[in-house]
Amino acid sequence: MALLTVTGLVRRFGSLRAVDGLVLSVEPGQIHALIGPNGAGKTTAFNCISGFLAPTAGRIELDGCDVTGWPSHRLVSAGLSRTFQVTKVFDDISVRENVALGVRSRLRMNRRFWPGGAAVSAVTKICDEILDTVGLTARAQSAASELSHGERRVLEIAISLSVAPKLLMLDEPTAGMSAGDAGLIGRLVRQLARTTAVLLVEHDIDLVLGLSDRITVMAQGRAIATGTPEAVSRDAAVQEAYLGRSVDR
Amino acid sequence: MTLTSSTIGTAASGRTSALVTIGVGALALAAILAAPWLAKPFTITLLTEAFVLAIWAMSLNLLSGHAGLLSFGHAAGFGLGGYAAGYFAREVSADVILSLLFAEAVVFIVAALAGAVAIRLSGVAFSIVSLCIAQVLYQVAIAWRAVTEGMDGLLGVPLPRLFGATIKNGAPFYILVSVVMMATLAGLALVLKSPFGATLRAIRTNDIRAASIGIDVRLHKWLAFVISWMLAGLAGGLMVFLKAGTTPMSLHWSESGNVLIMTIFGGLGTIVGPVLGAVCFVFLHDVLTSTLAIWQFVFGLIFVVVVIAFPSGLAGLPAQFGKLRWRFSR
């Protein structure tokens, strides 16, 4: 059974139907990319699925549970977390504390009114495991504001991992990165996909083709093709959407 | 921003700074409790008022410094708590615990409702709505004569009683206020270092990111709002016993301005800052009003200098000087 099933998703802004009947399903253990030309509605769809925008119509199911219209914080407890295209880390605290916020949220410790106790070392242990996974161990004590752009993009992913999602949604994880750093992110995503499904919006087509198990191509608010990277890159509708209608047909 | 330097400072020097904190705290505690035997009665009166205001400033610091909700109407919980405690003391019983409990119950109900509306907003919109809420209560205090006695105010509040004994003004009431203030400071210090405090600051830094890791932003803002109002109500209740009454002026926007000034002066987003701010405010006010006709002008100048030169207030001074020394020693 699919982990995420989106059917007939619509989001209107006034008279504009930014997402217009999107159908999408993500299988467990897969890296699924959502691509499309600018203005195709990827970001709007992403925001609807992750609970930051209320859908106008349609249905979103996560792990067999109807989560349509749930706010983001509730979706997190249902097993979904996301990153942001524009890095949103907590600049004024340490890298480890950035991750600890999410770990405590998952362990339902947000409303503990006293510091210390046995749970603190448990949280630290989980944080260090996550930092080890993403390769930020050496920076654990640094303030997030001191990190390089590439490190901040990695921390962005680490924060979203801290809530142990079943589905990790990555919004352009390589935004603004050099080719070398982007490759690093690619390897990290592949490694993470062993434990969590990944839904990815990304502009770097080479990365998407090399990384994804399945690709859904959006244009004008709908999915125009879904399949393996090979199938999608041969698809005539996709080529038309990206390159425009050929003149000498 | 205020937290950056102090957090890094703590991480670097760890145990030493903890020892320094404990040492300074113990000295301050001893000085506060010994004051009635050392200082003049008038000074004790000023200190009592300063400590009551300190509780109020600490409550604002929780809401505006840590949760990031800048309130322009923080007189609301303070004035409301004052009226409720004063009314109870006059009409039912002057028992200080019962009066304050009654005040807390009233403040809780109003804060729960007002908070549910106000926390839906953020930034300037929240500030303006908090101001509106306080002004509504101010008008109610003027208009609801049967309970509040209108513009005249609620006068003739009896001396507080504790376990059957009357607490006289001066040293006995000062000790009571000092104990409540220090308990509030200790309690808030724990809460602000707890996961709850960290969660509030995460919301202050980036509420969207906080929501994306499962933090219920509205719930936490509401909790901060209600706790903040209830601490303000506690301060208001103590003030009404100190002054033997209250007037609608306790709910006026200028009072909301004063508490904001004290808190920023002492250090918004710090822990001990609001106490320093309140004490300085009261003593500066006393010195300036007795020597100058234009005290507000002079106080305003001092405030501007402090805010520009020391962005994290008086409580940020040690860290700031620490950084200077470090820069020179390199």
Q: How confident is the model at residue A65 (pLDDT cuts 50, 70, 90)?
A: very high
- Which domains are seen in chain A, by residue range? 1-79+165-249 (3.40.50.300), 88-164 (no CATH)
Residue-level pLDDT at B177: 95
ipTM, interface predicted TM-score of the complex: 0.91
Q: What is the pLDDT of residues B239-249, one digit of tens each?
A: 999 999 999 99
Query: How many residue pairs bridge chain A and chain B with CB atoms within 8 Å of each other?
Result: 105
Mean pLDDT of B290-310: 82
pLDDT score recorded for residue A249: 40
- Give the pLDDT confidence of B175-217 residue by residue, as tens digits: 999 999 999 999 999 999 999 999 999 999 999 999 999 999 9
Residue A45 has pLDDT above 50, yes or no: yes
At residue B4, the pLDDT reads 41
Q: Is the pLDDT of residue B3 over 70?
A: no
Mean pLDDT computed over every residue of chain B: 89
Q: Residue A166: which of A249, A237, A106 has the closest Cα? A: A106
Any B CB within 8 A of A139 CB: no
Q: Does position A13 have pLDDT exceeding 50, yes or no?
A: yes
How many angstroms separate the CA atoms of A34 and A215, rounded? 6
Contact state of A104 with B198 under an 8 Å Cβ cutoff = yes
CA nearest B204 in A: which residue? A90
A21: left (phi over 0), alpha (psi -120 to 50) or beta: left
What is the reported pLDDT for B324?
Answer: 61
Does the distance separating the beta carbons of A92 and B205 come in below 8 Å? yes
**Partner residue facing A90 (CB), from B190, B196, B205:** B205
Residue pair A55/A102 in contact (Cβ under 8 Å)? The answer is no
Q: Describe the crossing of helices B217-243 and B195-205 by its angle, rounded to 10 degrees.
A: 110
Contacts of B208 in chain A (CB under 8 A): 52, 84, 88
* Chain B residues close to A50, C-beta within 8 Å: 212
Report the pLDDT value the prediction gives residue B225, as an integer from 0 to 100: 97
**What is the pTM assigned to this prediction?**
0.90
Asked if B117 and B272 count as a contact pair (C-beta separation under 8 A), the reply is no
Provide the pairing of β-strand B165-166 with B245-246. Answer: unpaired
Point out the least confidently predicted range of B35-44, B216-225, B313-322. B313-322
pLDDT, tens digit (0-9, with 9 covering 90-100), for B100-120: 999 999 999 999 999 999 999
Spell A199-230 as b/e; 16+ CB within 10 A means b.
bbbbebeebbbebbbbbbbbbebbbbbbeebe
In chain A, residues with a C-beta closer than 8 Å to the C-beta of B195 are 104, 109-112, 115
pLDDT at B63 exceeding the cut of 50: yes
Q: How far is CA A77 from CA A58, B102, B188, B228, in A?
A: 22, 38, 29, 28
Query: How far, in Å, CA of B29 to CA of A167, rounded?
Result: 52
**Is residue A87 within 8 angstroms of chain B, CB to CB?**
no
Closest CB from A52, A73, A113 relative to B191: A113
Mean pLDDT of the B9-33 span: 75
